[in-house]
């Protein structure tokens, strides 16, 4: 299938305006094929059909909410619903925390109920969160929504790379994802760090969600700012299984996050091991450049998948897709 070219600039919104949401706004600014028209946080939203200015919106957010933006902001206790029902946006990147673990599926239900038609892209991480969306597959399809899930870095970019690399083999033995993330301070990415803490021994999503900022800082003081994780519940496994690459038990994900240094503690990579048709066992390795940030490796793919989703949507293809079954398109 050749996916149609997207001709008109796509009107894009970003839900959630923390670390990733703000990076998303900056990534979109120089693009010609997408125009950033909407942003929402917990307390308000901003909309301008001709395009928003990232600096102005970040400034308003730092005062408490994007809803303070003059004259395009609106304060609200129901930001997502109010934005979606009142303004024309073709696709949204959901840069929202998945706390609790049912939050993203609840947001998807909200979109279905609203009667909105368009493209949704998330950067969900947990297998159980993607499983909840799978249950909404038919409803999304009938509602006219094209929903692409797991479209960040891992899952996302690295899962898609594994799906491509698998093609050399007759059988896939293992997919091993190892990520290194460096950020200057944890407050820039509160949801990401809480969700990572939820994978630490002795913690779960609910305990991590309930932690105050002071408790998170105290925990990070004890670990010297480092979170080291292995055998994480990560949706790369279910996505590769659904794409027919290998069973989920052959996929493992772990990594190290340094919350006090933007330099990566190790190079993010995915290793795909398999057997070729000649019987040789081999490993392909795809390694991300150390200079690329988490924000670049999450938001870049998210918009590439959003563009692909719009092409699908314009051909009448709706429902749920994962980053392992659709090729992202490059946004100019």
**Residues identified as active-site:** 125, 195, 199
Q: State which residue, 169 or 179, has the beta carbon closest to ligand NAD.
A: 179
Minimum CB distance to ligand NAD, residue 281 (Å): 29
Binding residue for ligand NAD (CB under 6 A) from 136, 143, 298, 320? Answer: 298
Q: Is 58 exposed, middle or buried (0-12, 13-18, 19+ CB in 10 A)?
A: middle
CA 125, 131, 135, 137 torsion-angle sign = positive
User: Within 197-256, which residues bind ligand NAD (CB under 6 A)?
Assistant: none
Report yes or no: 133 and 297 within 8 Å, Cβ to Cβ.
no
Shortest approach of ligand NAD to residue 243 CB, angstroms? 17
Using CB under 6 A as the binding rule, whether residue 76 contacts ligand NAD is answered as no
Quick one: which of 16, 118, 255, 300 contacts ligand NAD (CB under 6 A)?
A: 16
CA neighbor of 19 nearest in space, from 220, 147, 193: 193
d(CA 101, CA 320): 18
Residue from 195, 236, 237, 258 binding ligand NAD (CB under 6 A): 195
- Answer yes or no whether residue 40 interacts with ligand NAD by CB under 6 A: yes
Distance separating alpha carbons of residues 264 and 292, to the nearest angstrom: 9
Smallest separation (angstroms) from ligand NAD to the CB of 49: 20
Sign of CA dihedral 322, 327, 328, 329: negative
Give me the phi and psi of 37, to 5 degrees please: -110, -15
Q: Which of 6, 95, 119, 136 binds ligand NAD (CB under 6 A)?
A: 95
Residues 121-150 that bind ligand NAD (CB under 6 A): 123, 125
Contact partners, residue 63, CB within 8 Å, separation at least 6:
none
Binding site for ligand NAD (CB under 6 A): 15-21, 40-42, 79-80, 95-98, 123, 125, 152-156, 189-192, 195, 294, 298
């Amino acid at each position: 299938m050749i996916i149609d070219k997207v001709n008109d600039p796509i009107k894009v919104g970003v839900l959630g305006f923390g670390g990733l949401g703000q990076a998303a706004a900056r990534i979109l600014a120089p693009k010609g094929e997408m125009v950033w028209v909407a942003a929402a946080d917990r307390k308000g939203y901003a909309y301008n059909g001709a395009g928003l200015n990232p600096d102005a919106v970040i400034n308003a957010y730092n005062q408490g909410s994007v809803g303070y933006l003059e004259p395009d902001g609106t304060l609200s206790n129901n930001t997502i619903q109010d934005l979606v029902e009142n303004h024309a946006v073709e696709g949204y990147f959901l840069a929202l925390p998945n706390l609790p673990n049912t939050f993203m599926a609840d947001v998807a239900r909200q979109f279905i109920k609203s009667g909105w038609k368009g493209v949704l892209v998330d950067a969900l991480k947990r297998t159980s969160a993607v499983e909840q969306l799978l249950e909404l597959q038919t409803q999304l399809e009938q509602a006219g929504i094209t929903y692409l899930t797991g479209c960040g870095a891992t899952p996302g970019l690295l899962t898609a790379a594994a799906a491509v690399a698998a093609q050399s083999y007759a059988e896939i033995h293992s997919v091993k994802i190892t990520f290194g993330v460096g950020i200057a301070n944890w407050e820039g990415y509160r949801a990401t760090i809480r969700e990572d803490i939820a994978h630490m021994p002795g913690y779960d999503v609910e305990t991590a969600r309930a932690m105050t900022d002071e408790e998170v800082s105290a925990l990070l003081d004890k670990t010297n700012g480092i979170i080291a994780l292995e055998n994480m519940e990560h949706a790369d496994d279910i996505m590769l299984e659904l794409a027919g690459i290998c069973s989920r038990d052959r996929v493992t994900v772990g990594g190290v996050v340094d919350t006090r240094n933007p330099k990566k503690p190790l190079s993010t990579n995915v290793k795909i091991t398999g057997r070729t048709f000649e019987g040789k066992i081999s490993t392909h390795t795809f390694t991300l450049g150390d200079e690329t940030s988490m924000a670049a490796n999450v938001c870049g793919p998210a918009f590439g998948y959003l563009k692909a989703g719009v092409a699908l949507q314009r051909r009448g293809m709706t429902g749920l897709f994962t980053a392992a079954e659709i090729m992202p398109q490059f946004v100019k």
